[in-house]
Amino acid sequence: MEQRLSLITLGVTDLARARRFYEDGLGWTKGNPEEEVCFYQLPGIILALWTRADLAEDAHVTDTGATFSGITIAFNTRTHDEVDEVLTQAIAAGGTVLKPAEEVFWGGYSGYFADPDGHAWEVAWNPGWSIDEAGLLLMGSA
C-alpha cells in the first residue's frame, strides 16, 4: 500500500447546513455536479461531505452518534496570525471553538474549531513545516 491517502469523508447530519459552512462560510467550491455527495478538490486529495447514515452503512459500521473517534484534521496556516483569522472565520460560519489558539510546546501556535457536525479541525501554524504555493504540505522548512 503506497504511502498516500486519497479522500477524507466527513459524515454530516444535514448536508445543506454543512455546505453552507464549507461553501458560504469558508469559501470552498464544490467540484462535482451530484447533490447527494459533495466533493471538494484539495491539493492532492479530495474532501467529501456525505450523510453520516449513508457513510456508516457504506463502511458497515455502527453509528453511535459520537463526535470524536480519535481522528482530527488540521489546516496549517502560512503565518502565525492567520490562525486567529481562520478561527474567527470558522466561528462566523457557524463552527464552535473547541480551544482558542495558544502558543504550544512544539513551537507553533494552534487552536481547534468544530464544524457544525462536531468534526474537530486544528488550525495551526508550524514554523518547522512548509506549504508550497499550490498548498502542498512538506515536513521540514522550505
Taking the complex as a whole, how short is the minimal distance between the CB of residue 118 and a copy of itself, in angstroms?
7
Residues in the chain: 142
What is the b/e burial string over 118-137, where b = at least 16 CB atoms within 10 angstroms of the residue's CB? bbbbbbbbbeeeeeeeeeee
Taking the complex as a whole, how short is the minimal distance between the CB of residue 49 and a copy of itself, in angstroms?
10
Q: Contact positions toward a copy of itself, by CB under 8 A?
A: 1-12, 26-29, 31-32, 39-47, 52, 55-56, 58-64, 66-76, 86, 89-90, 98-99, 112, 117-120, 122, 124, 129, 131, 135-139
Taking the complex as a whole, how short is the minimal distance between the CB of residue 29 and a copy of itself, in angstroms?
7
Q: Take residue 115 and report the three cell numbers written for it.
A: 464544524
Using the minimum distance from each CB to a copy of itself, give the nearer residue, 4 or 16: 4
Using the minimum distance from each CB to a copy of itself, give the nearer residue, 70 or 141: 70
The three-state secondary structure class of 83 is helix
The three-state secondary structure class of 125 is strand
Taking the complex as a whole, how short is the minimal distance between the CB of residue 18 and a copy of itself, in angstroms?
11
Using the minimum distance from each CB to a copy of itself, give the nearer residue, 94 or 137: 137
In angstroms, the first-to-last Cα distance of the chain is 28
Using the minimum distance from each CB to a copy of itself, give the nearer residue, 16 or 60: 60
Give the span between the Cα atoms of 40 and 42, in whole angstroms. 6
Taking the complex as a whole, how short is the minimal distance between the CB of residue 94 and a copy of itself, in angstroms?
13
DSSP H or E run through 15: helix 15-19
